[in-house]
Amino acid sequence: METSRQTEQQQAAERRREELLRAADRVVLREGPDASMNAIAAEAGITKPILYRHFGDKSGLYRALAERHTDALVASLRDALDTPTGRRERVEAALDTYLAAIEARPQVYRFLMHPAEDSRAPERDFEVGRHSAPLLRRLGEELAQVVDERVDLGPGGALLARTWGHGIVGMMHAAGDWWLRERPCSRAELVQSLADLLWGRLAAAADRLGGPGL
């Protein structure tokens, strides 16, 4: 009985946590980097202390939101790279998936990657953009694993895969950030340009899995 009660309490806490994350998402979609803990608590119909109780501290909610969106992006990138097409098409699909994600939810992207314009605002009680480096590192490691699993890079291939993974993520982030701000070309044109830049040794490498490869 005690174990059953504990399980029910844990499930209820997880459901409540998910409700609070959805409320936070709504605020972020409206306000981007200007989203505050006060606004998120108000959206959820609770006070800030209750919000902290669920997420530990000021940055706990931010980390939970960051993980939520990073998990979704990583899953989408893996799906793109698992599409049964040629390697060039998979590279283009992965690039397009990332750019489509930041284009579809620019306020979420700015919340995760950029601090608010006025960090001295009276309700500024946690630092958005603070965890962008860990998010990019995680994406780099995830992409490195995909490359290492699918492409035979020869001796030292694991290190090269990590180098490429982090390099590609850095390129996508920098180019996507510039493109989202200035919109100098279409998304399709940017995808083609970035794929052209990548298309060198990757094109010549052998496949590990015997299929079309990365």
H/E run at residue 94:
helix 87-104
- What's the pLDDT score for residue 121? 47
The whole-chain average pLDDT of the chain stands at: 84
- What's the pLDDT score for residue 158? 93
Q: Find, among 135, 143, 140, the residue nearest to 111 by Cα.
A: 135
151 pairs with which residues across the strands?
A: 207
Read off the amino acid at residue 161.
A
At residue 52, does pLDDT exceed 90? no
pTM of the model: 0.80
- What's the pLDDT score for residue 65? 86
E-strand ranges in 58-195 read 151-152
Contacts 24+ apart (CB under 8 A), 19-25: 19/44, 20/44, 20/46, 20/51, 20/54, 20/55, 20/61, 21/64, 21/65, 21/68, 24/61, 24/65, 25/65, 25/68, 25/108
- What's the pLDDT score for residue 3? 72
CA distance from start to end of the chain? 50
Ramachandran area for residue 210 (φ above 0: left; ψ -120 to 50: alpha; else beta): left
Q: Output 179 or 204, whichever has higher pLDDT.
A: 179
Cβ atoms of residues 189 and 95 within 8 Å: no
Neighbours of 178 (CB within 10 A): 12
Q: Output 206 or 63, whichever has higher pLDDT.
A: 63
What domains does the chain contain, in order, with CATH numbers? Answer: 64-207 (1.10.357.10)
Q: What is the pLDDT of residues 102-123, one digit of tens each?
A: 999 999 898 888 766 554 444 4
At residue 126, does pLDDT exceed 60? no
Ramachandran area for residue 27 (φ above 0: left; ψ -120 to 50: alpha; else beta): alpha
